[in-house]
Amino acid sequence: MASERSILYIDDDPDDRELLNITMGDLDPDLKLVEAENGLRGLEYLQQAKHSNSLPCLIVLDINMPILDGKQTLQRIREDSSLNDLPVVIFTSSENPNDEVYFNRKGVKMISKPLDVSYLKTIAHQMLQLCL
């Protein structure tokens, strides 16, 4: 049996996690959205998933988080040879132009958190397309 398709969503904001979870669930009921409240928890999950051969097809990463923020988390993912192939998108409400420059340089797409539900659906759809 093929292992379950999943996306790992690392974000400290419970509202955002809930919204994306609902939206994703509407678009693709077979996809599992794994939530982690900060970078450290996210990395712990990835280690565990690595051993059980159930790595997610996409990592969605917030920037501003306690403990390990988005930049530090991305850095650690990239340093791990068994994880650095995984596609990552940054999903943030940050409007700091420096962040955009930073992630562009790392070759990572940055998506702004939406202001309305229909746009959230569009975004979720884009994310699913990255998750092949």
Partner 1 sequence: MMEHGLDNAPGYYFSFNDEGKILELNASLCTDLGYSKEELLGKKLETLFSIPSSIFYQTHFFPVLKYYGRAEEIFISLQKKDKEWIPVLMNARRDEVDGRNINICLCITVPNREKFEKELITAKKEIEKAVRENTELVQAKNEIQKHAEELDASLQLLERQHAELKQFNRVITHDLQEPLRKLSIFSNMILSATETTETKIAKQVSKLLNASEQMRLTISGLQQYIWLTETPVSLTEVDINKLLLVIRNELQAEFNIEEVQVETEDLPAIRGDWDQLKLLFYHILSNSIKFKKADEPLKVHVKGTILQKNVYRSLRKYNFKDYLKIQVKDNGVGFEVEFKTQVFQLFRKLHGGKGKGLGLALAKKIVENHGGLIDADSSPNVGTTITVLLPIFE
Given the rule CB under 8 A, which residues bind partner 1? 12-13, 15, 19, 37, 63-64, 66-67, 92-96, 113-118, 120
Of the pair 67, 101, the CB lying nearest partner 1 is at 67
CA distance 123 to 117: 10
Rounded-to-integer distance, Cα 129 and Cα 86, Å: 14
55 or 124: CB nearest partner 1: 124
CB of 93 to partner 1, least distance (A): 5
Q: Which of 15, 48, 45, 20 is nearest to 33 (CA)?
A: 20
CA distance linking residue 16 with residue 114, whole number of Å: 10
Closest to partner 1 by CB, 55 vs 92, is: 92
Cβ proximity to partner 1, 54 vs 64, nearer residue: 64
Contacts of 37 (CB under 8 A, 6+ apart): 10, 11, 12, 14, 65
